[in-house]
Amino acid sequence: MPPTIQEVKAQHEGRLLALPGVVSVGLGQNPDGKPVIVVGLDRPRPRTMARLPQTLDGYSIRVEIIGEIKAQ
């Protein structure tokens, strides 16, 4: 049985967050309603984006530029 998207996210989240500019890793949907892993960047970072895989364990990766995350 293949892993769930939650399991895949949990397995890879630490490695993704260690990449320069990655500020979040979450779950979302593509326009067709299929689940995707959403990687949030603080700003456009071509080198980081080039290092991100297109998929993880069969789940697509979507990159969003969300800005810096600041604690309140």
| pLDDT in the model for residue 1 | 86
54 found inside a domain: yes
41 found inside a domain: yes
- pLDDT confidence tier of residue 68, bands split at 50, 70 and 90: confident
70 found inside a domain: no
Q: Is 41 in contact with 24 (CB distance < 8 Å)?
A: no
Q: Which residues contact 63 (CB under 8 A, 6 or more apart)?
A: 38, 39, 40, 41, 49, 52
8-state DSSP, 18: T
**Which pair of tokens denotes residue 31?**
């326009």
d(CA 37, CA 48): 16
16 found inside a domain: yes
71 found inside a domain: no
Number of domains in the chain: 1
| pLDDT in the model for residue 69 | 78
CATH number of the domain at 46, please: 3.30.300.50
Range of the domain at 23: 5-65
Per-residue pLDDT reduced to its tens digit, 9-63: 999 999 999 999 999 999 999 999 999 999 999 999 999 999 999 999 999 999 9
